[in-house]
Chains A and B, each alone.
Chain A
Amino acid sequence: MLSLRNIQKSFGDHQVLRGIDLEVARGEMVCLIGASGSGKSTLLRAINLLDPVDDGEIWFDGVDIAEPGLDPQPIRQRIGLVFQSYNLFPHMSAADNVMLAPRRVKGLSKAAQRDRVAELFDRFGLGHRIDHYPDQLSGGQQQRVAIIRALAMQPDILLFDEITSALDPELVAEVLDVLRQLRGEGMTMILATHEMGFARELADKVCFLESGRILEEGTPDQIFDAPREVRTRQFLSQVL
């Protein structure tokens, strides 16, 4: 479904991605692990076309979306991205946050969306918070609204950029539960994450990134129990 070939990206003199190759099949959950600055976030932003890559190909449903000059808008509608800092729109209620993009992009009126959106909020335990504003919600609740906002566009694939890193420890579980639920429903997902236990429990594939390269990839068992690379072993011994 998604196939990255030799992705390169620099910010100024700093080369952040140095040739990433990655295959993601439909319904798969792929976890990107690695130290801060290893290129995980940049890679996700590149796939969503927020930071266009310098070189390489991103094949998505038979189209190379890394093609310079391609209109990113229709692609982004099908590739959702959830941010570490939630990035909810503070001047809108939770429901309006969720309904804005379907309304403007797909032309669905608020009335037409209301039932479906209410159902999404119920499903993720936020039915009673649907008309609250972001500053009235806890971090965990805001992040769940942000996930609902991405889901409401009915994307083919969802990208998660360290979405639990800004949360207090006791709020992490409620957000991971949402991911578990999505996993159960067969959503295709790529996660940049520091939650090793979670990656181990649910990922189909784990990729260890270092200095803009995928140094090692494999099943969770391979990566966590029998890492081949010294650097992977060092990294895991620091975080586990």
Chain B
Amino acid sequence: MTMSGEPPAMPGRRAQFEAAQRRRSMWVAGVSTTLVLVAILVLVPLAPGWEAVKKSFFNGGVFTKTFPGLLNAFLLDIAIFAWCAPLIALLGLFVAICRDIQRPALYPLRLFATVYTDVFRGLPVILVIYLVGFGVPGLGLPRPWNSPYIWGSLALILVYAAYVAEVIRSGIGSIHKSQSSAALSLGLSGADTMRYVILPQALRNVLPANMNLVVALQKDVALLSFVGPVEIFRQAGVYKSLYANFTPYVGAAVIFLAITIPMTRFADHLMNKRRKQEQ
């Protein structure tokens, strides 16, 4: 033990021990990972159906031929995502605020918001897409109001806004009552207290949770293929029939992962940052 305030020139006993342990852990992790990878690479091709699977799912020729087309179709996914996301945010926020409204005259809004979140959180997404995506155009509306883009997107918006509303509401509930006390004690109105004091903090708190919903939305855009739009999943189906090969689906999966993995990492990063701030 050095008595001066200077950092010791030699690492201390504890530091030496921890360094040795770290080296050992890395070595063990490296060896075990290598063993598992080798086992997969050796064992999977030994399976009796491997040749057939390789030909129909991992066909290099089909992959290169269809990949540009899939990428192109994915632009539609991104477009649908891009116009749905802001509308979901707005509707979700609106519903969240409605659920906490106290004024008797606005009770219908509160009732509507409660029923709304119950209904749309209680239904499978695909069911809502079918009902809205096929049902509303079935009314015989004139173009462009019969477009499956509009009604399919609306289905996604309705479902996701219900989830976002619940997340935001939990965020509002997480803000300590002393914050609204402080705002009200200054003479601010209830609405201003919500808008300037509670909501900004609540939304910041639930940003990571909403990021997870954003990732889920990006994936669920593919469900719209069931009501018409030729987005990437539908396009992969077309190629599958054309080449009698499943590789386009693998291509589509690669494209999805290229987008969703960074988004998920980013959401985790936000979550960790948030947790550190709270400590």
Contact = CB atoms under 8 A, between A and B. Distances in A.
Contacts of A72: 184
26 contacts: A48-B185, A50-B181, A50-B184, A73-B188, A74-B187, A76-B185, A76-B186, A76-B187, A80-B185, A83-B178, A83-B182, A83-B185, A89-B182, A89-B183, A89-B196, A89-B197, A89-B201, A90-B201, A100-B197, A101-B183, A101-B188, A105-B187, A146-B182, A149-B186, A153-B186, A153-B187
A188 interface: no
Given A77-B186, A101-B186, A150-B186, A89 B178 contact: no
Contacts of B118: none
A79 B184 CA distance: 11
B189 interface: yes
A104 B196 contact: yes
Interface string A75-90: 0111011010101111
B177 to A, nearest CB: 10
The 6 closest A-B pairs by CB, nearest first: A77-B187, A87-B182, A101-B186, A81-B185, A76-B187, A87-B178
Interface of B: 178-179, 181-189, 192, 196-197, 200-201, 204
A130 B186 CA distance: 19
A78 to B, nearest CB: 8
A14 interface: no
Contacts of B188: 73, 100-101, 104-105
Contacts of B196: 89, 100, 104
A128 interface: no
A81 B183 CA distance: 10
Contact of A105 (B186, B200, B201, B204): B186
